[in-house]
Amino acid sequence: MDIRELQGYANFFMTIFLVIMLYGYIIHLYRSEKKGESDYEKFGNIALDDEIDSKPIVPNPKTMNENEEQNK
């Protein structure tokens, strides 16, 4: 088996692997939303409510703590 053939097989199996990963991701997204573990659609509001003083959809604890300390 020469290098070209090996490359071909490697590509084929990697494709299969990545397809499984992608479908797994789809299932993960829908299942976690169905179980109520996460709500992906709320992230769409990040674009709509984007003033600098708007409340973040998911506040970043790191910068939030810094801000709180500044305000003390």
Partner 1 sequence: MQSNAALEYDYSVAKLFTYTTILFGFLGMLLGTLIAAQMAFPELNYMLGEYGTFSRLRPVHTNTVIFGFTLSGVFATFYYVGQRVLKVSMAESKFLMFVGKLHFWLYFVGALVATVSLLLGYSQSKEYAQYEWPIDIVIVLIWVAWGTSLFGLIGIRREKSLYISMWYYIATFLGIAMLYLFNNMSVPTYFATEGLGNFMHSVSMYSGTNDALVQWWYGHNAVAFGFTVPIVAMIYYFLPKESGQAIYSYKLSLLSFWGLMFVYLWAGSHHLLYSTVPDWMQTMGSVFSIILILPSWGSAINMLLTMKGEWNQLTENPLIKFMVLASTFYMLSTLEGPIQAIKSVNAIAHFTDWIPGHVHDGVLGWVVFMIMAALFHMAPRMFKREIYSKSLMEKQFWLQTTAVVLYFTSMWIAGITQGMMWRAVDEYGNLMYSFIDTVAVLHPYYAIRALSGVLYLTGFLMFAYNMIKTMTVSRELTQEPQFKSPMA
Instruction: Give the interface with partner 1 as residue ranges (CB under 8 A).
Output: 4, 7-8, 11, 18, 22, 25-26, 29-30, 33, 40-48, 50-54, 56-61, 63-64, 67, 70-71
How many CA within 13 A on the CB side of residue 20? 6
Sign, CA dihedral 42-46-48-53, equals positive
DSSP SS3 for 35: coil
CB of 55 to partner 1, least distance (A): 9
Q: Within the chain, what is the greatest distance between any pair of CA atoms?
A: 70
CB of 31 to partner 1, least distance (A): 11
CB of 42 to partner 1, least distance (A): 8
Nearer to partner 1, 37 or 44 (CB): 44
